[in-house]
Structure 1
């Protein structure tokens, strides 16, 4: 037959501005692809620089160094006899573009700029790059360093496709798959058989199925081979890129990589018969009619082929069979995604480990279990012989750079946790014995180095200083104090915990005769941040927060899952405990409750968050939706009161988001200020116009309901 080809796509754990490391990972992926017989290798978006360079894309140095890396690739043995699809930023005529560079046997065949830029949510590509005009092709004059290597003075740049001796290849980049008029439609109608998508797509809970379904449906309608590459890991920001490189043929997944992994390089290959694409398309008469009217793409010819061209050679090779796509449950995603993110952050920050104020509540419990999950993943990869993981964990487990054991291979996650993870219960007279015991038991179960302290003397010193200066003694609400006194006394405790957390994080390694310092972990969930139910600069103020983009309900589901999956029966005690800050005295008549303090439940907060951010609802449209959704349990006036209460507290606490700890992004309704959620932080909290409209409609609906019932 002579039509069998082997292709490769990959997930790379690239790091923004790490040109040397990025180069090594690119070369390793090409080597792995060649070893598996592939002639075409596809890599992630902007893989030479890393996707998350942000304003470094405005610097000329970034483009110069990217070309230097490309020069090394072009001269490498790896690039010989291969077609490579490589991502890098390129400046053309003084304009910056997000580009793919197609290399064929160490020659640049085509530079293909991105047509449709991602510019919402977490992405700001229009800040750095310009979109290219569809179907436009120009000459690009190569830098002199490249001309000396390839003996080419210029190459085509633009929206073109590449014709080999046996097939045709077209590129689209990340966002272009999600747009209504995706480039693969026109390319497929013009005869392109292989589509490459080089992506920098981040993880969100429950998002992967959308990506897979888009690719499957595109190839099911069009026919063709789709190679999806993605970055994997934390490249220096809040996002975790979740890999899952895949190959789809005519709507069927035939190869899929991991979504969460500690491997820096993962290559996925498949062998397919080009005739399967052609026969699939031939059965669709309507496709042929549409193709005859489609506008042609400019073709760039390369003198190479992906297939052997020898009929006999195909007889001993079996094409890759279709398989069902793999998905993780949301609970598994929480266990794996933030854990991989934490590992990248720890090993690349060159710190000694993590420190967590462990309160005995479900939020800090979730953070601790995610660190435990990270330790489990490290042991699994080390046992599997992952050399990068072994080098990193050996450095972290050593007391100093001079005491690294080159033969050390971890076997117990608890051993790792005891070295790199310190937890601390910071109690006061308002803390309960139950939360203190839960924190102690959890630390013992996961192996963290645990300390336990009472900070009453420090709190009393601060209150005493205030009394000395003002002559006034503040009291808690249960002791007759005002709202202002009650809040101030709670915040003293919360803010002192932040101070103590950083002191212990800096000095605990020294106390244990080790070097370095620890990163402080936060544990405020996305719903608390949305409501502003946290103290500014308290123990929620940390270095990073693995659960800051995860809802309370998802965290509860995760803890229920982890109790069985990680054999941690202690987690059942956390599920049964009511959420409380334990910052006020407990009496016979009063026990502090998070949901009572907030005036709304965590489940309600999730609803408010999704409507506010994902469905872009203001106060009035949120009321208009919820008055029907909650009609079976609440009167319109009660719905109105709840919506107004949410927007009031959201407004007066929005300023807290300006100092929110950088958090792992996991939810599309994250309130992360100036990064994901671009809204003001100073509001007129009365929302007078909007609330008046809500009250008018609520009164009218209440009256209508009352008249109909009589």
Structure 2
């Protein structure tokens, strides 16, 4: 459980209806396999000691007693195992019959947590309101405790609460109270049969509820062996973490993954919507060892966390461009300035801005000639990028202006007494600011607005010139990371019927990302590449997602990165680029504090008004020190 990872599993035993001896053996087999996998929280279906389809047989004392004995046998099989197990079983007490979750750890039944909602067939009673003690010849006195939370002794925040699938339909679901009082993992014991749409419906519910409550839900439903008199059961097992499906199993396959409780705690801190209640103080039960062991990672992480899977990619790209177009459309309508002025470099960022501004003009019913595409070649411009910029502008029907700035840059060097052969930051920034000054002045001259091109990734690491490409009248790339920009441009290239435009777009995507501020080689080849200075953008966006959006600590982030990028980047390389990224993230904040307006796209932005805010003079020492301590 090091680094806040907890391995969980949901599984459905292959039962025989009302055969508790057979069922207990199958359950014990699952427990043994889970233990060998390093599982710390195991969830089995509702009523799995007897089967969930016994109907009137649940009233039989003989079956209830056999279930109690099976529970005690199962509990004995957990002795010496560091694993919290939730098993569904029928439970008789004082003339009432409950469907309960037996919470078992290290050979003991810690408590029974009864189902709160009445069953559809009317067999089981509604859970009692208060705690009571129940007795059985098989397990002596055990608490019957509604809405209980099981808290780990050594791992802060590792709080697990059993729930039932029927509680989803309750007007007052127990989920809010449980989560408000610290439950991070919800162990859902389900009795749901298989229906045509049940998998999608259950997945949609778990996705929504886990995201709503910033929780993990581990759900196990009955599987094969259940009665098919009225239903068929598939053993659907699902694990969700804050809206993301981590694992899914069905028809004998279990679901297993690792929950990142640090991430869930980070989300809860930001929510500030939960209000705990003192009434839960006597509903907490401790479990777990005092030692915190390792947790081997098996969960799948996306290398490109901001780019969706293929089946969602088309809608994602269409909506991303629509948001950009609507943003600049509103800004033009408000100002009455209907000529977007864009500096086009032949790079992916400026290309997307041109595409979206063309769309905005289409939405306004205005000619694309209103779009002023300005290419300003200088010392670092290659024929390849210049040619692509021209092609894009011409194919879209924009007004193209080619304004070489080398002479004006040289004049400025002379004014400030800077050598033409001194390739310091001054050499680069003079060019960037010259371009921005020209674009702003052109916008004034033609009655338009200068639409900026920097993206979210460049804002994060400050890979832009202050008062150069850092500023504009409106910044429509502000809500998209570099990998998102590339995905949207690629989608446009694939769908457009314009072959010339498509070829140019694909060539732009194949061109190394560069600010083109340092001279090219004698052969006209590009020498300055952004990723040589700030690291691969796949890593940058991965760091951005995990460090800022998930609150992942430096050492943990290196561990995750090693796991995800195994075979691509070794530890030394990952530490190098995360050190660089962390340093730049802090020292470049002053650029983000004065950035232009621009639309948010996916729940994260650096807007100084509504986005991620930090002081411009905060120290990065703690983060850098943590990375320096990593053994290479």
- When Rg is computed on C-alpha atoms for both structures, the one with the higher figure is 2
TM-score using structure 2 length:
0.48
TM (norm. structure 1) is 0.43
